[in-house]
Structure 1
């Protein structure tokens, strides 16, 4: 488990934000290259990242992109639980590999999670309504993501890498069509990358029992085929965002794309997507405090006349990020 942070150890500066932005753009980029782009040494870039990872502030991970799997879909699910059962339910959901972003809303009764489901299979979406501690279930399929493949935009703020730095960091690669499928044999590789998305080929070989050449070849093939993605998990609390809320927007279907495009430019949103249901856009807003959230709602959101309604659901506790379990606001990695 990561070390507990102190006010001294948790300092987070411009270079840290730029390192995280660089890793969001190129999660497995060598630290020598990242350091060169940022004007620091390889050792400094590596040391800064390892410090943030140890403290549970941020960590690179690899994960299956369920949207690319045949018949798969991702759902945002809102649960209302019996009094006193929301946290135990959230913790149980967080330990499942098919969930992410498990959060308990203010009041301790509502729980929101993201679930990966496959058509024709009786998975979690089928069983949740039958759970004794669940009073109601509202499931919303994610149709289109407007913002939030990575979280660096709100992490980095005004310290984001400029266009020249992005070009130096990201090497254009020739698009190739990879004919491959995922199999059960890939699971040890996926598990290892969930724990450390920057794991070396030697470490991946140890985790899988493969040769380094085979581990590298399989990682590259799954990534090129779109089955495997890399990103950065971050602790919003550790970065100073103490007012987190789900925003459920209702707009006319004709305005869905334009409103989504405007929301994608809002730095306060870590994630936004079009979903099924009467509230057809959901977003996650991060603010330093309640006053900042109020300012955002009454200025930038209020400036979008096509928004007919906005339900604001404050998050009391975040139990899981994309793959990382969260303990008192600190990332402690995925399940063993």
Structure 2
């Protein structure tokens, strides 16, 4: 199976400084116009548009319009599935094709699949987690960990930490933050079918033109613009950049499972979120209560990270790690490569 980002021609290991500035700008505000991006970066809007077209057509990145599960009252789970080595790849590919999964990874030497599962309403988590997977003959064990709080993630990722934009440039591009409670503290937001249709389209192309979205949904262009703004202001819609691994990822990636003294969990999670190599960090249920996805240059640097930065986290009781070998699906919907 190929994902959207398994494309040809092969991509370069690193982006130029100018390209990274554009990617950083899109991570900050995926719907920013080329004029807004150009003004922040000090280039022409034609240059910004040309760089975006080149990167997108080469399969290096795409902008996704995604929804905050906690803001909608949905549940997020991190699911670990241990299986026989001969079954991991095929089972992982089948899980990647599901509409309720994201970040499907082969881990632990190819004997484990780690993925994020989102459920809308009661019973859906049971169908996937407690019925289908355990009944698969090649599955050895399944564990599910409910995400309770996200310390680093959603619209924030490694690009925010490694991108070249200055704080002033980020502030110039950023969509105004909405006042009010955090996403996991606010009451769930209800969506109608029109909203869900619009959001499904944005999940595939976060920069789709309002006219295209209007034609696909049957709404007016002005209504599309207003609904996108409202959904962003309400904290439902955010934008993320999905990139080819060669664009930003380092040579060694790992899942990190930590057991933290509950009294220190918020403090430890906030500290973990600031680590340069942490791409995602969340509090979860289970025998460990803090999860992170880590991206560092080498295994030796990961050892250094564990023995220094992780060891210094407040309230740390124990750690468990699993190298990530292959990503079968990223943050957005699975899209086969067009031939």
**TM-score per shorter chain, which class?**
0.7 to 0.9
Question: What corresponds to 1:46 in structure 2?
Answer: 49
C-alpha distance in 2 between matches for 1:155 and 1:5: 23
Matched, 1:270 2:272: no
Give yes or no for contact 1:324–1:333 (8 Å, CA) kept in 2: no
C-alpha distance in 2 between matches for 1:285 and 1:175: 31
2:223 alignment partner, SS class: helix
C-alpha distance in 1 between matches for 2:302 and 2:24: 23
Higher RCO structure (Cα 8 Å, ≥6 apart): 2
C-alpha distance in 2 between matches for 1:322 and 1:146: 17
Give yes or no for contact 2:37–2:45 (8 Å, CA) kept in 1: yes
Aligned ranges 1:1-336 → 2 under 5 Å: 3-6=7-10, 11-70=14-73, 72-122=74-124, 123-127=127-131, 128-152=133-157, 154-155=158-159, 157=161, 159-170=163-174, 172=176, 181-304=190-313, 306-325=315-334
2:109 alignment partner, SS class: coil
2:226 alignment partner, SS class: helix
Q: Judging changes above 3 Å, is the alpha-carbon distance between structure 1 residues 67 and 194 closer, same or farther for their aligned structure 2 residues? A: same
Q: Judging changes above 3 Å, is the alpha-carbon distance between structure 1 residues 183 and 157 closer, same or farther for their aligned structure 2 residues? A: closer
How far has the Cα of 1:100 moved from its partner?
0.6
Give yes or no for contact 2:150–2:282 (8 Å, CA) kept in 1: yes
Give per-residue Cα distances to partners, 1:126-170, cap 9 Å, x unaligned.
433333332211111111111122354x33655442222122223
How far has the Cα of 1:243 moved from its partner?
1.0
Unpaired runs of 5+ residues, structure 1, are 326-331
1:66 alignment partner, SS class: coil
How far has the Cα of 1:63 moved from its partner?
2.2
How far has the Cα of 1:82 moved from its partner?
2.8
RMSD: 2.7
Q: Judging changes above 3 Å, is the alpha-carbon distance between structure 1 residues 333 and 82 closer, same or farther for their aligned structure 2 residues? A: same
TM-score by length of 2: 0.86
C-alpha distance in 1 between matches for 2:316 and 2:41: 40
How far has the Cα of 1:52 moved from its partner?
2.2
How far has the Cα of 1:56 moved from its partner?
2.4
Give yes or no for contact 1:195–1:333 (8 Å, CA) kept in 2: no
Q: Judging changes above 3 Å, is the alpha-carbon distance between structure 1 residues 29 and 245 closer, same or farther for their aligned structure 2 residues? A: same
Q: Which moved more, 1:50-59 or 1:248-257?
A: 50-59
How far has the Cα of 1:175 moved from its partner?
5.5
How far has the Cα of 1:253 moved from its partner?
0.5
Give yes or no for contact 2:17–2:164 (8 Å, CA) kept in 1: no
TM-score by length of 1: 0.87
Q: Judging changes above 3 Å, is the alpha-carbon distance between structure 1 residues 208 and 171 closer, same or farther for their aligned structure 2 residues? A: closer
Give per-residue Cα distances to partners, 1:25-82, cap 9 Å, x unaligned.
2110111111111111112222222222222222111123221223x21010101113
1:308 alignment partner, SS class: strand
Q: Judging changes above 3 Å, is the alpha-carbon distance between structure 1 residues 333 and 62 closer, same or farther for their aligned structure 2 residues? A: farther
C-alpha distance in 2 between matches for 1:158 and 1:94: 28
Q: Judging changes above 3 Å, is the alpha-carbon distance between structure 1 residues 254 and 99 closer, same or farther for their aligned structure 2 residues? A: same
C-alpha distance in 1 between matches for 2:300 and 2:43: 37
Q: When the two structures are aligned, how many residues end up with a matched partner?
A: 326
Unpaired runs of 5+ residues, structure 2, are 181-185
